[in-house]
Amino acid sequence: MKHFKFIVLLAVIGCSPKISEHFEQNRYIRNYNIHIINDSLEIYFKSPGDIEYITDKRQLKKVLRKVKFKLKDSVLVYGKTDDPPYEYFVTFSDKFNFIYPKKLIVFDTIIHNKAICFIGNPLVKNATQTLKIDLKNIFQSLEVGKGYRKDISSVMEVVNRYANSNKFYGALNEITKYPAYHKQEEWTKFQMEFTFSSFLGNNEHYKKSLNELESKFKPNDSITNIINKEVVINSEAIEKIVDEAKKYRIIMFNENHFFPNHRILISELLPKLKDIGYTYLALEALDIKQDSLLNLENAYPTLETGFYTSEQNYGNLIRKAKALGFQFVAYENMESNKDREIGQAENLYNKTFKINPNDKVVILAGIDHILEKPTSKGKKWMATIFKEKYNIDPLTISQTHLNSYRKQFQCDYCLIDSKYFDSERLSSVDFHLLNNKNVYQDNWDSTFSYQNSSNFDVQVSLFQENEIEKLYDYHKKVPYYTAILEKGKKYNLPINKGQKIYLYTFTKNGNRIDEKIITPVNN
């Protein structure tokens, strides 16, 4: 009997997939992506950042014993992700047999007489397409031999360098020139260009990115017809939102981070919402520790308040809320071991209704977080969890899910009740709002004349006197107005009367070239 057990054990060991002798030389470097480098093999490739890799040999052995297909060669790398669920293997050997079951996604190549094979296994049926795209991008990043990448760089390194800077034109210029090696990097680069150009008002860079994004959109005629028939516009839309808000304790708006005008809607509504009892303003973009600082007397937004709050319309929204007496709430989930939606819902409740049950809350969140219904796959968003767990029904208004239809309608604000839509996604909020509001605010007291006398475009930034403690404090502050001024052109720049302001201009390389103090006497 003992001999039989020994034979079985040998059989199991013999059939177990092998681990490459080079496995423990793998290095995994994380920035925006995960970069895999093996110096002993002179091999490099990178993957999306949400893939988890096994780096322990014993743990990998346990995983490989459960694999339901036969791996032909020894495994060099194993990664897995849950959204959507799939796993992939990288094998590296002298063999050239790449025949695998059809359900698997396989990319392979032979370099320097070595066979390198990327084998993707979808763990659910609907993961196949995402896996195919991801694995193709991973495979295309492969570099082997003397030219393999030892220095890891990403466009996100540029973004991180400018994370606490108001030299948005400098960031935009660097990102625009940054090389992109494949579609994934191109998309990341595009998003960052779009983001920083949106920080600079209504400029040509922003218009170009916006047109590129929206050019692929094809409207659904039935949706267009519903909007035409049921829309409420402009001042009537604002009145409708306020009337509905009277019935609720919490009102949730969403935004697309590329669209600063989504913040202007909230600024316009805040005084009216304050009048009907709303006292808290909860902002997803607010750094988790910054709400307590903003709630201090005479506080104002700084570059540390948050990344997106550095955009001028977001900064002005915070300034307006502060003047109206709103209490700020930062509710982003920072616990890595907790689902983001659950963490957001809990933070939101604990910082508002748990303290003051009778108060009312305004919230500005990212795109899908305000959906009140789970997806067909069972995913629950922050609003869904908040509603179910605390039994508080939010009024939800989406500025994003029908955003691409906005150009078909001539209105600043177009409001449509979601009850007219059959779609699960479109019926997961109470209202949809198409926002065509100009990102250049027109509610300033006055303007003053300024000419860009340089023979190149510049970024102009305007700061309020009460936010500048020292002459060169501007580099830590959020400008109340900033834009790209074209060479030689004259502009009327906005100012509120009675307060001194500081003006600075910067080149596209971030060098300061002009500084002025504009006083009430000469504005």
For 412-471, the pLDDT digits (tens) are 999 999 999 999 899 999 999 999 998 776 667 788 999 999 999 999 999 999 998 877
Neighbour tally for 401: CB within 10 Å:
22
pLDDT at 33: 83
Q: 282 and 385 in one domain?
A: yes
CA pair distance 290, 302, nearest whole angstrom: 10
CA pair distance 158, 162, nearest whole angstrom: 7
Determine which of 63-77, 226-240, 356-370 has the lowest per-residue pLDDT on average: 63-77
Of 101 and 152, more confident: 101
Q: How confident is the model at residue 521 (pLDDT cuts 50, 70, 90)?
A: low
Q: For the chain, what is the domain count?
A: 4
Q: What is the mean pLDDT of residues 60-80?
A: 92
Q: Which CATH number do you get for residue 506?
A: 2.60.40
- Residues 265-278 have pLDDT tens digits of 999 999 999 999 99
pLDDT at 375: 85
> Taking 70 as the threshold, does the pLDDT of residue 477 lie above it?
yes
Q: 138 and 22 in one domain?
A: yes
> Taking 90 as the threshold, does the pLDDT of residue 3 lie above it?
no
Which DSSP category does 412 fall into?
S
pLDDT at 154: 81
Q: 183 and 49 in one domain?
A: no
Domain end among 116, 144, 172:
144
> Whose structure tokens read 């031999």?
145
Instruction: Provide the mean pLDDT of the chain.
Output: 90
CA pair distance 96, 108, nearest whole angstrom: 10
Q: 317 and 241 in one domain?
A: yes
- Residue 459 in any domain: the answer is yes
Instruction: Using the Cα atoms of residue 482, residue 484, residue 488 and residue 492 in order, give the sign of their dihedral.
Output: negative
- Residue 77 in any domain: the answer is yes
pLDDT at 6: 38
Q: Which CATH number do you get for residue 397?
A: 3.40.50.11550
Q: 296 and 368 in one domain?
A: yes
pLDDT at 331: 96
Q: What is the mean pLDDT of residues 317-344?
A: 94
pTM of structure: 0.77
CA pair distance 81, 342, nearest whole angstrom: 20
Q: How confident is the model at residue 146 (pLDDT cuts 50, 70, 90)?
A: confident
pLDDT at 17: 65
- Residues 280-301 have pLDDT tens digits of 999 999 999 899 999 999 999 9
- Residue 150 in any domain: the answer is no
pLDDT at 98: 66
Phi, psi of 292 (to 5 degrees): -65, -35
Q: 266 and 372 in one domain?
A: yes
Determine which of 1-5, 21-25, 49-53, 478-482 has the lowest per-residue pLDDT on average: 1-5
Which residues of 72-227 form beta strands (DSSP E)? 75-82, 85-93, 105-111, 114-122, 143-144
Determine which of 8-22, 77-91, 104-118, 321-335 has the lowest per-residue pLDDT on average: 8-22
> Taking 50 as the threshold, does the pLDDT of residue 12 lie above it?
no
Q: In what order do the strands lie in the sheet with 34-38?
A: 26-30, 34-38, 43-47, 143-144
Q: What is the DSSP string of 191-204?
A: HHHHHHHHTT-S-H
Q: 422 and 276 in one domain?
A: yes
pLDDT at 9: 36
Domain end among 144, 172, 206:
144
Q: Which domain holds residue 187?
A: 158-214
Domain end among 408, 435, 462:
435
Do 457 and 205 form a contact (C-beta atoms < 8 A)? no
pLDDT at 7: 37
